[in-house]
Structure formats: structure tokens, C-alpha cells
Chains A and B, each alone.
Chain A
Amino acid sequence: MSSTEVEILLVEDNPADADLALHALRRDHLANTIHVARDGEEALDFLFCRGPHSQRSPDRQPRLVLLDLKLPKVDGMEVLREIKNNPRTKVIPVVILTSSREEKDVVNGYQLGVNAYIQKPVDFEQFRESIRQLGMFWLVVNEPPPPNAFQAK
């Protein structure tokens, strides 16, 4: 697994949501390698190559992190804070994908440096459309940060 490039890190504790997101992403062939982290701690271990992911190279980071906010152990905001506080990871585009429409979450997210905030539409059709669009944008349209951007300065 460490040899293949992970295109998307999906941080989602709910397996149903994870399934639906994966279904949508794969249906449009937007991403082949998607790693699902089931809680905040696992997401951080993955990104900082700790614990079970200590074999992973910190130079090969995912092109996009899809982050849910309500997570066991370490919540989404904390994960976001750690990512954006660390010079090695702060360039990774992070998109919050959450069911929360709370204004304070939106504000907090942007203040911590999130790259986009998407509220999961209740309607599955709209949800699928959102996923499709954000996959299209971040994986196809957007120019990713070059590898040396991940090195600490």
C-alpha cells in the first residue's frame, strides 16, 4: 500500500457515508486509490506516518483530504488544526465534508485554513453531484503542490 500513491484520504467514521462517498467517487472514475480513516487519530497517524503507518513515506501525501467533523477520538477540527499547523502537511488541500450546517463550524474551519467547506446534501443525488464536482476540481482541474512543498523548511 505504501508503494501506491494515495490520491484521497477520506476521514469518515460512518461506514455508510464512507460507502456512499466511495461509490460516488468510483462511479465517475475520479480516484482509484482512496484511503479511509475511521477516526481522527487514524487520519493523523496516516498523514504523519506514525503507528500502523510508520512505513509510509512522508513525501508522498494524498492529493486531497476529505474530512468529516464529527469523529471519534480526535474530532475533525483538531485534525484540521494539526494538519494546518504542521509545515509538512499544511499544503495538503483539505475539504470539510460534513452534515453540519453550523455557522461556527464554517467559521472555525476557514479560520484554521480549510480549503473548502461542503455540506453533505441530504438528497443522495445532490450528494453524488457534490462529490463528483469536488473530485473533478481537486484531482483534475487543480494543480497539486509539488513534492518539495511537503518538506519542512
Chain B
Amino acid sequence: MSHSLLQNLPIGRKLVVATMLVTGTALVLTCLGFVLFDISKLRQYFVRFLQIQSEMVASNSVSAVLFEDSESANATLASLRADPQITFAQIVRKGGRTLATYRRSDLAESEYLPDLSALPSDGFQFSQDRFSISRRILSEGEPIGTLYIQADAREMYARMKGYGWIALIILVTACAVALWVSMRVQRVVSQPILELTEAARTISREKNYSIVVPADRDDELGVLGKTFNEMLRQILTDMEARSRAEEALRRNEERLNLALRSAGMGTWSWEIETDHITSDEYLGPLYGLAPGQFPQNFEGFARLLHREDRDRVEQEVARSVEHDVEYNTEYAVIFPDGRFRWIAARGKTHRDESNRPVRMTGICWDVNDRKQAEEEIRKLNAELEGRVEQRTAELVATNKELEAFTYSVSHDLRAPLRHVDGFARILVEDYGSQLDPEARRYLQRVQDGTRQMGQLVDDLLDLTRLGRQELRRQATGVNSMVNEVMAQLQQDFEGRQIEWKIDRLPFVDCDPALMKQVFSNLLSNAVKFTRLREKAVIEVGTADLNGQPVVFVRDNGVGFSMKYADKLFGVFQRLHRQEDFEGTGVGLATVQRIIHKHGGKIWAEAELDKGATFYFTLSIAAESQSTIEETIGGKS
């Protein structure tokens, strides 16, 4: 109890109490010891004194007792008068008869009648204010009587009281001094603590952390003060940081709100355990409800959804809650007026430390316009697909028509030609003798015409057939193709002097039949246009054009002017007169189409009367890459 009392005292009081308790106890104990020691000494002295007196009186009174000399005995006792403390003395003979009695003169006879019988022989006794002593009077070792002396103890007690008073004064003075000193000391110790306490109180009351307590001391209190100031400084720093963070947070929140508002978004939060939905004022209107009227539980929310979407949305919510996947969905919402709109929702499940789902938070926004646009696009796409299908069908039909057309061209156009040619010939052969030379010449013209037209039809058919023909690519040796073509052309240049310069040519990745046609056209052109040369030189080789291998066919024929080069590959385009060099104007168009079909390029370089060179690119078959590089390298 006193412990707790002490605990609640202010620290200054505590220090004083402690000091006083220690000082007081020491002083009290010291004084007490001193007084008790003195009292004991005094008593000893007093007893000793009376014993000596009684010893003296007893030995002086032996003869008086022996002889029962009362007078002498009284005289002996009367010597006691010198000591005013002795109030009464008596000598009693063995057997109980009183021999002499002394009484201090100021005392009445009735006073001091000590009960001498209570005294032990050779003993003493203190009573209230007296001291009694008895002594046997001995004669040759035999007791012959007893001496009683009684002294007044009051003086002794008075002295004792004097000691007590002195001790008390000392005690009180010492305590006062101790109190004064301790109070001074406690101020030194407790003042800073009190200041700290006051500062702490002020801080807690006014929330003012900029207070500084004095701490210009080097002792523990100084350290305490400095630490306190440092703590305050840190708190101030922390608080500033926190307030900055709060400010930033507030701004972020404002920005977020602004963003949500401008995006027309509403936010929600669903406590999973209690099935309670809280939402902001913007969520309701998204669902056709008044602000703040959004349902507060899942069931209420689900009822707002289009019947067909409910199960799916519930499943997606469950998936997010159970498997921690993002909740991200779209659904149709039925408005109270029966309209429905598309809403997109996105959310996240929050979990506690034990990974238990606690709540879902998220946002919703209206995606009706987008959905409608998507629907529109879907419709348009379907329409477009339909149109594409229709076009494709039309194309297929057109292709079929084209096929039918080329078929009839090949069949119907050719037949009359043969008739014209056939009957012209029968006329010449069977009736030639009846015709004049001019008629025969005209018939010859008819036959030439039919032959040329036949060639034209064939070439055109080749060209149109190319369009729909699939490439059947395979690695093909150009040299072997050139050789085959040369063999076929043999009859066209029989009897002529032609120098063939055929390089080592690569293997190319191509459709062999079509590529052969390329070489056939180019080489027969070369043969044809060198017809006027005494010695024709026809070259087939490879060259390197900016790292790309090209094949070329060169002749030293009549060539052509480069200003007509752009007409070279056009259908029916001819750079020579029919009577100079026959031709349909389809061959190079066909060549170009074949090269293009292979993904290559073709071009020509020529000079009038000097010859022509046709270059074209081809994809080299992988295994012959090294061959052509070697060839090109060798040439350069």
C-alpha cells in the first residue's frame, strides 16, 4: 500500500520522502542509542554510588548492631545526610527489630515507607521515583542484620528527560536541515524531468511537435532531453512525410474519382462473408436505377441481369473467388423500363493472411455502344462474307465461262481455218491447172493467212491457259532444257551457220514445261532474228545482278530500238514487219507471264542491228547454288 502510495507521488516528493526516510531513521537510531547508553550509564553510576554508600554504612554499623547500640546506629545513618538524594535508611536487626532509622529532614514520617520485606537480601529495586537497596550486615561471616537505603530517583529521571530533550532537538534540527537539502537536490534532479513531462503534456494537448526541451547538460538527464528532442524531430519528419503521403493519396483518389467519373464508371465492393454490396452513387444509374439504389446483396444484383447471363456471371464470380483469377466480363442488364444495355465489369478478389477470400472490389461501365458497334461489325462482316462468297461464285462462274470460251476458241475458231486452208489447197491441187497464176497467188495468200491465224489462236490459247495453270515446281537443269529446245528448233535453222555459246547453267526451281516454253520462245526468236546474219551467234549464260543470279539469252540479230522496249512484252505488240519477220506478238507476252508466275523479272537490252539480250531472274534450286556462284565467279 505504501508502495503504491509512493509510486503515485510526484517525483520531487518521492526524492524528499526517500531522503527524509533515510536521514530520519539514521538520526532517530543515533539519538536513541545515545540516550539509552547515557541512561544506562547513569543508572549504573547511581546503583554503584548507593552500593558504596550502603557498603560503608553496613561496615560502620556492625558493632552497633552487635551491641544493639541504637544511638551509634542512628549516628552512622545520619552520615547519609551528606547526600541529599538519600531519602530514607533503616537498620534492622536479625529477627526484625529496627535498630535505627534515617529520614531526610524535609520528608514527613508517613512518606517513604518502603515495603522492605519485598526486597531481596543484597538486592536492589527501582520503583516509580525511588531506588531501594538492601544489604546484609555481616559479622565474621554471619548475618546479624540488614541495612535498607532508599534514594530519590527523580533527579536521575530529570537528567534522563534532559537527555531526551537534547536528542529531540538535535533530531528535529537535523531533519529540518535534511529536508532543506533534499528539497534543493530534488529540484536539480526533478526539474528537467518535470519540464519533459510538461513538454509531453503540451505536445499531447496541442499536437505541437516543434517544441524543444532544454538539454544543455551532460548527465543522464541531458541525454534524456536530447533523446526526447531527437524523437520529436523524427516524429515531426515522419508526420511531414505522412502528411505528404496523405496529400498524394488524396490527390490520387481525386484523380481516380475524376477518371472514373469521366469514364462513366461505377465502383462496388462485395463483402463475401456477409454478402453485402456497397457501391458508389454512380453505379445505380448504370443499371437504370436511381443513384444509391444499387442492390446491397448478390441476389439483388443477379436479378438485374439478363436471364441468359445470370448463370455465366455467377460462375465467373465464383471462379474469381475460388481460383483467384481476375473477374472480367460483360453482361446485359435489364432496366426497370424493360430496355437492356450492355455493362462491362471488372474486379478482383481480396484475401486475408490465410488466403481466405474476404471481399471483391471492382468497377462497372457501360459498353452498350461498343457492343452495338461490334454487332454492327459482325453483321457487316457476315454481309461481307456473303458478298465475298457471291463474288467468288461469280468469279468461279466467270472462270468457267472463260474456260468455255477458250474451249470454243480452240475448237470453233480452228475449224473454219482448217476449212479455208483445206479447200484452198484442194483447189490448188485438184483444180490448179484450170486457174491462172494470179488466182493461184491469191489462193496462196489465203493459205498464208489461215496458217498465221492458226498460230495466233494457238499462242493465245497458250497465254490464257497460263493464267489458270498451277505451277508444278521442281529442280530442273537449265542446260538440259536448252538442249531439248535446240533439238526441237533444229529444222528452223538447218543449213544456217550458228555459233551456240551455252554456258554451264544452274538448276532452277521451276515448272519444267513452262520454263521450256520460255526457252523455246526466246531461242526461236534468236534464231529468227539472226536469219540475216551470215554467222549467227546465240549465247545462253548467267550473270550476276546486284548479287542476284540472272540467266540471259543473247543474239547478234537485228535487235530493236530501246525506245520501243516497253512495248516488247505486250500482247500483239510487234517491232518488225510481218513480211520481214513473221510472228503473232504473243510469244514474249507468254514468256513474261511465265517468268512473273515464277516470281521472277524479265527485261531486255538491245541495239538496232546489233542484237538483243533478254535477262530474267529465276529462283535457283538450293543444290545448285554453289554451281552458279562458281560459274559467275569464273566469268568475272
Q: Which residues of A contact B (CB under 8 A)?
A: 14, 16-17, 20, 23, 69-70, 98-102, 120-125, 127-128
Which single member of B426, B451, B457 contacts A123 (CB below 8 Å)?
Answer: B451
Task: Please name 5 further chain A to chain B contacts, defined as beta carbons within 8 Å, in addition to the given A120-B415, A122-B458, A125-B425, sorted by A numbering.
Answer: A69-B411, A122-B421, A122-B450, A124-B424, A127-B418
B489 touches A (CB below 8 Å)? no
**In the complex where A23-B426, A70-B411, A99-B414 touch, is A122 in contact with B457 (Cβ < 8 A)?**
yes
Interface CB pairs A-B, < 8 A, 29: A14-B415, A16-B415, A16-B423, A17-B415, A17-B418, A20-B418, A20-B419, A23-B422, A70-B412, A99-B410, A99-B411, A99-B415, A101-B461, A102-B410, A120-B414, A120-B418, A122-B414, A122-B451, A122-B454, A122-B458, A123-B418, A123-B421, A124-B418, A124-B421, A124-B422, A124-B424, A124-B425, A125-B425, A127-B422
B45 touches A (CB below 8 Å)? no
- Complex CA gap A102/B402 in Å reads 13
Contact call B407/A20, Cβ cutoff below 8 A:
no
- Complex CA gap A23/B422 in Å reads 10
Closest residue to A20 on the B side, CB-wise?
A: B422
A128 partner residues in chain B, CB cutoff 8 A: 422
Q: Which of B407, B410, B418, B425 has the most CB of A within 10 A?
A: B418
B417 touches A (CB below 8 Å)? yes
**In the complex where A122-B450, A123-B451, A125-B425 touch, is A16 in contact with B419 (Cβ < 8 A)?**
yes
B411 to chain A: closest CB distance in Å?
A: 4
- Complex CA gap A44/B66 in Å reads 209
B454 partner residues in chain A, CB cutoff 8 A: 122-123
Tell me the residues in window 599-613 of chain B with beta carbons closer than 8 Å to chain A beta carbons: none
Tell me the residues in window 49-106 of chain B with beta carbons closer than 8 Å to chain A beta carbons: none
- Complex CA gap A73/B393 in Å reads 29
B418 partner residues in chain A, CB cutoff 8 A: 17, 20, 99, 120-124, 127
Q: Which of A99, A121, A123, A128 has the most CB of B within 10 A?
A: A99
Contact call B407/A100, Cβ cutoff below 8 A:
yes
A109 to chain B: closest CB distance in Å?
A: 14
Closest residue to A120 on the B side, CB-wise?
A: B418
Closest residue to A101 on the B side, CB-wise?
A: B410
B417 partner residues in chain A, CB cutoff 8 A: 122
A14 partner residues in chain B, CB cutoff 8 A: 415, 419
A127 partner residues in chain B, CB cutoff 8 A: 418, 422
Closest residue to A24 on the B side, CB-wise?
A: B422
A101 partner residues in chain B, CB cutoff 8 A: 410, 461
Closest residue to B429 on the A side, CB-wise?
A: A27
Q: Which of A20, A23, A98, A127 has the most CB of B within 10 A?
A: A20
A141 to chain B: closest CB distance in Å?
A: 25
Tell me the residues in window 455-481 of chain B with beta carbons closer than 8 Å to chain A beta carbons: 457-458, 461
A99 partner residues in chain B, CB cutoff 8 A: 410-412, 414-415, 418
A20 partner residues in chain B, CB cutoff 8 A: 418-419, 422-423, 426
Closest residue to B458 on the A side, CB-wise?
A: A122
A27 to chain B: closest CB distance in Å?
A: 9
- Complex CA gap A14/B407 in Å reads 17
A143 to chain B: closest CB distance in Å?
A: 31
- Complex CA gap A23/B458 in Å reads 26
B72 to chain A: closest CB distance in Å?
A: 194
Q: Which of B410, B411, B454, B458 has the most CB of A within 10 A?
A: B411
Closest residue to B455 on the A side, CB-wise?
A: A122
A22 to chain B: closest CB distance in Å?
A: 11
B422 partner residues in chain A, CB cutoff 8 A: 16, 20, 23, 124, 127-128
- Complex CA gap A23/B417 in Å reads 17
Indicate with 1 or 0, residue by residue over B408-449, a CB within 8 angstroms of chain A CB atoms.
001110111111011111100000000000000000000000
